[in-house]
Amino acid sequence: MKTSWNELLLIEEYLLSDRKEADRILLEARIILQPNLKDSVFWQEKTYSLIQQYGRQQLRKEIEQVHEKLFTAPEHYSFRQKIIQLFGK
């Protein structure tokens, strides 16, 4: 099930951009006529979803590291107190 470069570009444009309605309908017709294209669209959507989830996990880790550093390191004591005051009201 190898996807050609042109097919991949077509799928990406379909999934990621706001194409003209006529172009979308044309591609949806191709998907109906070509079962392999339907599979390729499905797997490309799945891939984008996994990449997005991974990116979110990485961002959460980075935020947690910053939080840990700001609220445990002694050199950030005054910042920590200001934040506690701000949200303690």
Confidence at residue 64, expressed as pLDDT on a 0 to 100 scale = 96
Q: What is the DSSP string of 32-59?
A: HH-HHHHHHHHHHHHHHHHHHHHHHHHH
What mean pLDDT is predicted for residues 71-87? 90
Show me where the domains of the chain are located: 5-88
Model pTM score: 0.67
pLDDT tens by residue, 7-61 = 888 888 888 877 677 778 888 888 899 888 899 999 999 999 999 999 999 999 9
